[in-house]
Structure 1
């Protein structure tokens, strides 16, 4: 086994020389032990440190709107910061592998918190068919694949569909976002999750309007429990449990 590990590392070292890879954040050349993001940039990522704590800021976005079990976000979205480059590349620059990478590290961050306890399916927020054809994939599905690789929880992309390709949410205020996503999802296979606990997953939450619209459609299923997770959280939100001053995170330049 030790010999195999040594040979495997040697192959990685040779590949890194012949086909050098660069950090998705700073562009620096990666070493053979680094994946997608260099160690320095990874340590500088704006982690929320929420880790599914009860009553956290993500949960509070949905209070008095829909009952959820748990909610969390992994990173803060800061408009213009280098830290959002890999997420933009995931969405716009044909880098679905970044989704798997972030899905895995999100899962590892939460796996010892009990966040995934009882969850039977991961449901990525769907894209409209036109957007998915243009992009070639749904970035949230790749985040879900990464989560599934670590947790073993299966991904279900056959439960709910996005039936309306609504205009972009960029630069809309909270009320406009809410109206923009009304009735854009349709439940198509509720029987598959009846009586289950599901995790609804998206790449970025700002006001929560899109994921709330999807959750309300799923909530038509009998005895369903819903938890929510996103890679990034954008907007001005209190970043600790209880009363706190809003963290200075940009509302503008947030994509949908």
Structure 2
């Protein structure tokens, strides 16, 4: 499994995805999304093969891997990146929420899956370049319960980080409603040219 080795490292490649675009406290990805790898197969099982248990298990692994760092210090709430309601009904679950459940199981941090919704059912980001990804996710999120988020340090959780466009769009919607929030980011995997320093060995 192509794991990253970013834990506890400030300025790691995940944080650099957001530099100059979204102020964040910290960010991490558990593994690298590599073609033909076990990590890619795990993501595909989670998203397309009716395996929410994979998300719960890997979410717990992600959290356990960071427990001996300060990553979860001061985080108030987990926000899994929302799916459009039609897509979630078809899939039967939100893969990011399943990851969040696994994180909650280890950290006891609360999950809020009601405060933010995906108000626009945009097309999939797969195969889009960076500019098209940004345009595709512009203004697709809305905050429904702002009082749940005001003044909070929010952990945004997603499955695959490529350009960061989806996470940034979600964060921007939150900031419009709650300008006093802070963000950290945790994703299952990091795709594209951002990843470096990958450990191909099994984590102990």
The residue aligned with 2:202 is none
In 2, the alpha carbon distance for the partners of 1:52 and 1:222 equals 27
Matches within 5 A, 1:1-256: 45-220=1-176, 221-239=178-196
Secondary structure of residue in 1 paired with 2:193 = coil
Secondary structure of residue in 2 paired with 1:119 = coil
In 2, the alpha carbon distance for the partners of 1:86 and 1:47 equals 13
In 1, the alpha carbon distance for the partners of 2:167 and 2:145 equals 18
In 2, the alpha carbon distance for the partners of 1:150 and 1:82 equals 23
Instruction: Give 1:208 deviation, angstroms.
Output: 0.7
Question: Can you list the C-alpha shifts for 1:147-187, whole angstroms capped at 9, x where unaligned?
Answer: 00100101100111001111111111111111111001001
Secondary structure of residue in 1 paired with 2:73 = coil
Instruction: Give 1:52 deviation, angstroms.
Output: 4.3
Asked if structure 1 preserves the Cα contact closer than 8 Å seen for 2:31 and 2:188, the reply is: yes
TM-score (norm 2): 0.93
Instruction: Give 1:222 deviation, angstroms.
Output: 3.2
Asked if structure 1 preserves the Cα contact closer than 8 Å seen for 2:46 and 2:55, the reply is: yes
Tell which deviates more after alignment, 216-225 or 69-78: 216-225
Greater RCO, CA 8 A, separation 6+: 2
Instruction: Give 1:215 deviation, angstroms.
Output: 1.1
Secondary structure of residue in 1 paired with 2:68 = coil
Q: 1:114 to 1:172 in 2, by over 3 A?
A: same
Higher strand fraction (1 or 2): 2
Asked if structure 1 preserves the Cα contact closer than 8 Å seen for 2:155 and 2:185, the reply is: yes
Question: Can you list the C-alpha shifts for 1:108-146, whole angstroms capped at 9, x where unaligned?
Answer: 001111000001100000000110010000011010000
Give aligned pairs, total.
197
Secondary structure of residue in 2 paired with 1:195 = coil
Asked if structure 2 preserves the Cα contact closer than 8 Å seen for 1:52 and 1:71, the reply is: no
Superposition misfits of 4+ residues, deviation over 3 angstroms: none
Query: Which structure has the larger Rg?
Result: 1
